[in-house]
Structure 1
Amino acid sequence: MSADLVRPYGDTTGDGMVQTSFTLPLPHDKRAEGAALQLAAKMGMSPALLVHAKPMGPDFTFFVVYGSVTHLVDLREVHVVEREYPLLSSADVNQAIRSHLQRKLVVVGACIGTDAHTVGIDAILNIKGFAGEKGLEYYREMTVVNLGAQVLVPDLVEAAREVQADAVLVSQVVTQRDAHIHNTTTMSAAFREAFPTGQVPLLVAGGPRFEEGSAATLGVDRVFGRGTTPGEVASYLVHELVTSRTRPDPRGAQR
């Protein structure tokens, strides 16, 4: 087999074994278990073994199914978004802002819509940070405004205008019915309507369900997925707003 073609691994190399979980709108009984195995077969798992079934209330059942698939993954067809900027230390970030911008870089962050999960935005902004890295509040040359959860888009736009934000960071954890996509596109449209061309702050969205290559579709400048660290975000902001000098100054003539 070509090195570019791989199969899942379970017990032995190339055996194609996978494990998947799902919920069916059925009460837990033998019929529901049979339905779960039928679904697994239609997904290409053969043979399929039902390893876990648990009622979720009177009308739903959660299943875990284990089995072999014949599908191959062609690594030549896998496309990823490569990081196009260097990772900087906090000292380098501060030095770059101080030397090139000659003022503090202003960042506004929030969870918008009905999203009340602040873990993501806090991991990036709060000084305690994430994955052993300090959040953006730790950077001496940044002014960080964390608006918290369930922020209405008009309020976010007004806050960004009031503090003359260079960048707006939005975290979306709630993804039911593609709420994260709807909220982000609504937010980006509102900013482009409220600010003159060339003065829109850098718009950054982050969350576990975002596809990293979807920034253009969502109308934002960058999308960060799960596992993103504060250092990555800080380095990106410096790359876009400080050292590359490719974007117009969002504050226009006021600066």
Structure 2
Amino acid sequence: MGDSPKIVRPYGDTTGDGMVQVSFTLPVPHDKRAEGAAVQLAQKMGMDPAMLVHAKQMGTAHTFFVVYGSVNHLVNLSEVNVIERDYPLLSSKEVNTAVKENLGRKLVVVGACIGTDAHTVGIDAILNIKGIAGEKGLEYYRELRVVNLGAQVPVPDLVNRAVDEGADAVLVSQVVTQRDAHLHNTREMSAAFREAFGPTERPLLIVGGPRFDETMAGELGVDRIFARGTTPGDVASYLVHALASRPKEPVA
């Protein structure tokens, strides 16, 4: 008694009614036939009944739809695969102390948006001192040295700058996802770093963006993926956790 349910259905008007709302665009002008096509698609997706609740023409040859209806699918919560935070969330003071004790120098972070991606809001929210939602960015941490390269950085330039700066970690933000550009760019980046660095010398590779699947880090060749809702504290705490086991550099 009191345990959370393992099998759940979507909730709309009443518990377990299976109601969901989906939106999509069809490459047809808005008319009655287009609306019928939207309902047909929803029915083929398993919605029964399917009710069209919104339709708006986009340009001259596309229409955006919102459809509401019931589905019979169930979700088994015990089979859901997610990446849980496996490290403690530290305060800025604790991060600074850990870096000082483990590295004996400042931790160097190089960040950028690569390829043709010009959306720097995400990388700036993590790196810039102003941060996000009242939380200071990594530039605020006195034991971190942050190099923000900005937008549309070619992968070779990112690798060269990481070498020049002696980067411990490389943070890449990808917002543009058309034709899976974020995945292609990430694979290109990880391959370039593997070629440029030895297996024990490569900096941590971290990517983030709203459309990434956090379970794909291994497939994309990076150490960690951060998705929506990530804060500077999440990233800083992960850096400390991931670098803690690395041997300290010899004192000259």
What's the TM-score once normalised by structure 1's chain length?
0.94
2:150 is matched by which residue type in structure 1?
A: G
The number of residues matched between the two structures is: 249
Determine if contact 1:199/1:248 at 8 Å carries over to the other structure: no
1:158 aligned partner: 160
Q: Using the TM superposition, give the Cα deviation of residue 131 of structure 1 relative to its aligned residue in structure 2, in angstroms.
A: 2.7
Identity among equivalent positions (%) equals 75
Comparing 28-37 with 192-201, which one deviates more in the overlay? 192-201
Q: Using the TM superposition, give the Cα deviation of residue 253 of structure 1 relative to its aligned residue in structure 2, in angstroms.
A: 7.4
CA RMSD in angstroms comes to: 1.5
Give the secondary-structure state (helix, strand or coil) at the position aligned to 1:54: strand
Is structure 2 residue 123 aligned with structure 1 residue 121?
Answer: yes
1:148 is matched by which residue type in structure 2?
A: G
Q: Using the TM superposition, give the Cα deviation of residue 198 of structure 1 relative to its aligned residue in structure 2, in angstroms.
A: 1.1
Give the secondary-structure state (helix, strand or coil) at the position aligned to 1:80: coil
- Give the 5 Å matches for 1:85-234: 85-234=87-236
Deviations 1:135-190 (A, max 9, x none): 00000000000000000000000110011000000000001111111000100100
Deviations 1:190-236 (A, max 9, x none): 01101123111111011111111111100011111111000000000
Q: Using the TM superposition, give the Cα deviation of residue 248 of structure 1 relative to its aligned residue in structure 2, in angstroms.
A: 5.9
**CA–CA distance in structure 1, aligned partners of residues 251 and 177 of structure 2:** 38
Give the secondary-structure state (helix, strand or coil) at the position aligned to 1:149: coil
**CA–CA distance in structure 1, aligned partners of residues 191 and 77 of structure 2:** 36
2:228 is matched by which residue type in structure 1?
A: R
2:68 is matched by which residue type in structure 1?
A: Y
1:232 is matched by which residue type in structure 2?
A: D
**CA–CA distance in structure 2, aligned partners of residues 73 and 248 of structure 1:** 44
Q: Which runs of 4+ in 1 moved over 6 A?
A: 252-255
Q: Using the TM superposition, give the Cα deviation of residue 82 of structure 1 relative to its aligned residue in structure 2, in angstroms.
A: 1.5
1:22 is matched by which residue type in structure 2?
A: F
2:225 is matched by which residue type in structure 1?
A: V
**CA–CA distance in structure 1, aligned partners of residues 217 and 6 of structure 2:** 28
Give the secondary-structure state (helix, strand or coil) at the position aligned to 1:189: helix
1:117 is matched by which residue type in structure 2?
A: H
Q: Using the TM superposition, give the Cα deviation of residue 254 of structure 1 relative to its aligned residue in structure 2, in angstroms.
A: 9.8
- Consecutive unaligned residues in structure 1, runs of 5 or more: none
**CA–CA distance in structure 2, aligned partners of residues 9 and 248 of structure 1:** 51
Comparing 21-30 with 193-202, which one deviates more in the overlay? 193-202
Give the secondary-structure state (helix, strand or coil) at the position aligned to 1:214: helix
**CA–CA distance in structure 2, aligned partners of residues 237 and 254 of structure 1:** 22
What's the TM-score once normalised by structure 2's chain length?
0.95
Q: Using the TM superposition, give the Cα deviation of residue 28 of structure 1 relative to its aligned residue in structure 2, in angstroms.
A: 0.4
Give the secondary-structure state (helix, strand or coil) at the position aligned to 1:213: helix
2:8 aligned partner: 6
